[in-house]
Structure 1
Amino acid sequence: MTITLHDFDGEHSLTLDVGGLAADMAIVDAWHEPNGYFWEGLVRLAWPDIAEPLDFDSESGMFCAVGTPSDLAQLKTALESVITSPDAVRDIIARAKTSGFEFDD
């Protein structure tokens, strides 16, 4: 599991290589695909205030968010608490079901 902050020519991004994460089985058990698009949806649902100012450029094997260094640092802290916790992911998926949120995975 690697969450990486990047600075390339003044553009700041955060990436997470997906697959092989501790939370993957919780995602699969809920009939979702543990890909970058799933994690993008999870971020938008779980932390809408953090997600609001960010742009996303995720793909199947990677979650990617683009934004300011301070916004990305907040996101990194939030993600670190979830990617290693299947229970936290299950809770967020349950919230999604109750609210009618659909993951685009």
Structure 2
Amino acid sequence: MTLLRLIETTPGQYSLLLDAGTTPVDSVIAELGHEPNGYFWAGVAEVLVSSEAPTLEGRFAYDPEAGMFCAYGTDRGALQELEALMKVVATGGERMRRLVNDAEARGFEFDD
């Protein structure tokens, strides 16, 4: 199963999608007191962009819902970079634990 999917929705428009509740780290997210929904994953993306890839800031937008994370825009390369960053977190329990703990220590609040 593919965790993240980058699709072209219309010519020149791209969406990066993740079905919430289907990742190997869902139990870690729950242990950390969060719900692995689309809103939580949007928070993960925001933290990754702000702390690890600030050059991605403003190059796409988010449109999460309960069952799905979605980032979209016309910059396919930026979405591919976000996909690579998110894949590491979505498959690594310790990486997810570190990201959430560091973000919360800095005052970030996940909207889940």
Structure 1 unaligned segments of length 5 or more: list them: none
Q: In the alignment, which residue of structure 1 is the partner of 2:9? A: 8
**Which of 81, 92, 96 does residue 74 from structure 1 map onto?**
81
Would you say 1:52 and 2:52 are equivalent positions? no
Structure 2 unaligned segments of length 5 or more: list them: none
Which amino acid letter does the alignment assign opposite residue 38 of structure 1? F
SS at match of 1:38: helix
RMSD: 1.2
Tell me if the contact between 1:43 and 1:51 (Cα under 8 Å) persists in the aligned partners.
no
Q: What CA distance in whole angstroms lies between the structure 1 residues aligned with 2:23 and 2:71?
A: 18
Aligned identity (percent) is: 35
Deviation, structure 1 residue 18: 1.4
Which amino acid letter does the alignment assign opposite residue 47 of structure 2? L
Bigger Cα displacement from structure 2, 43-52 vs 95-104: 43-52
Q: What CA distance in whole angstroms lies between the structure 2 residues aligned with 1:51 and 1:76?
A: 14
Deviation, structure 1 residue 20: 2.6
Which amino acid letter does the alignment assign opposite residue 97 of structure 1? E
Would you say 1:94 and 2:101 are equivalent positions? yes
Tell me if the contact between 1:6 and 1:14 (Cα under 8 Å) persists in the aligned partners.
yes
Which amino acid letter does the alignment assign opposite residue 102 of structure 1? E
The TM-score normalised by the length of structure 1 is 0.92
Which amino acid letter does the alignment assign opposite residue 7 of structure 1? E
Classify 1:88/1:51 alpha carbon distance in 2 versus 1 (closer, same or farther; 3 Å): farther
Stretches of 4+ moved more than 4 A in 1? Answer: none
SS at match of 1:47: helix
The count of residues paired between Structure 1 and Structure 2 equals 105
Deviation, structure 1 residue 9: 1.8
The TM-score normalised by the length of structure 2 is 0.87
